[in-house]
Structure 1
Amino acid sequence: MTRDAWIAAYHGYIDCLNRQEWEKLGEHVHEEASHNGSPLGLAGYRAMLEGDFRAIPDLRFNIAHLVAEPEHIAARLSFDCTPVGKLFGLPVNGRRVQFTEHVFYRYEQGLIAEVHSLIDTTAIAAQL
């Protein structure tokens, strides 16, 4: 795949998340995917994302920066949302917060196989 094809594939993944098209997640995520070193598999990865949307009903993934070096993607994602309860252990409880996530992906066979994520919880805490 070309660099542009990797970028297009990543945009397709983000669109899948934002539309919550969980039945299509396997078109983007490897059956044996891991997140921050934990082997979740596709089913566990999907369950994690579904939980994120339950905790944050207005969750929307916005790509702020994107770097593609096949077979890796690095992205800075931005969020402007209203979690319903605690978020990352912080008592957000329906308040609107803005924060970023730095996430690194490794692809295998054209699918996301590893995800390493760091969320700016300090920014969230500062808004509470």
Structure 2
Amino acid sequence: MPSAEAMSNIAVLERFHSATNSGEMDLVAKAVDDLTAPDLVFHAPVPMGATGAEALKRVWEALLRAFPDLHVTIEETVAEGDRVVSRNTVTGTHLGEYRGLPPTGKPVSYGEIFIFRFEDGRIAEIRGVVDVLTQLRQVGALPS
């Protein structure tokens, strides 16, 4: 059974996912402000020209602009000490510009794994691996 600290960290992560699944950028931005450390270290899978919480917000702005119905389903969570690992399936419909590609109306479904490190009950560091190759193939940016 996970420790009280691990359970608390999982609850924070679930609150964050709830905000991202709302599709409302205002709620996502508020969750970033409320649930991440002021000096968040965010290792983005794509360069965003920003760091920390601002980079995280920019990633979500780009994703929600491109996939307004984006939904992250948590498939598996492992927590120990100050770390939570989340394996997710992301789904959505390509309805806005993404990486220079105009909207295609095509659905996407791809996997990702993120490691979150917590300090004082807030997300302090995020590292992730996102299956961008599958995502880009599904919107037609790359051959299958």
TM-score normalized by the length of structure 2: 0.74
Counterpart for residue 64 of structure 1: 75
Q: 3-state DSSP class of the match of 1:116?
A: strand
Q: In the TM superposition, what is the alpha-carbon distance from 1:60 to its structure 2 partner?
A: 1.3
Counterpart for residue 105 of structure 2: 94
* The one of 50, 59, 62 aligned to 1:51: 62
* The one of 10, 14, 22 aligned to 1:11: 14
**Mean alpha-carbon deviation: is it higher for 32-41 or for 14-23?**
32-41
User: What's the Cα RMSD here?
Assistant: 2.5
Counterpart for residue 32 of structure 2: 25
Contact 1:33 1:45 in 2 (8 A): no
C-alpha distance in 1 between matches for 2:128 and 2:32: 18
Q: 3-state DSSP class of the match of 1:94?
A: coil
Q: Structure 1 unaligned segments of length 5 or more: list them.
A: none
Q: 3-state DSSP class of the match of 1:49?
A: helix
Query: How does 1:85-124 map onto structure 2 within 5 Å?
Result: 87=98, 93-124=104-135
Structure 1 residues 118 and 46 mapped into 2: Cα distance closer, same or farther (>3 Å)?
A: same
Q: Structure 2 unaligned segments of length 5 or more: list them.
A: none
Amino acid at match of 1:123: T
**Does 1:73 find its partner at 2:84?**
yes
Give CA-to-partner distance per residue, 1:5-62, whole Å, 9 cap, x none.
2211211111122223122322211111122178723233223212221121111121
User: Identity rate of aligned residues, in percent?
Assistant: 24
Amino acid at match of 1:66: T
**Mean alpha-carbon deviation: is it higher for 29-38 or for 81-90?**
81-90
C-alpha distance in 2 between matches for 1:89 and 1:72: 35
Contact 1:35 1:115 in 2 (8 A): yes
C-alpha distance in 2 between matches for 1:118 and 1:89: 21
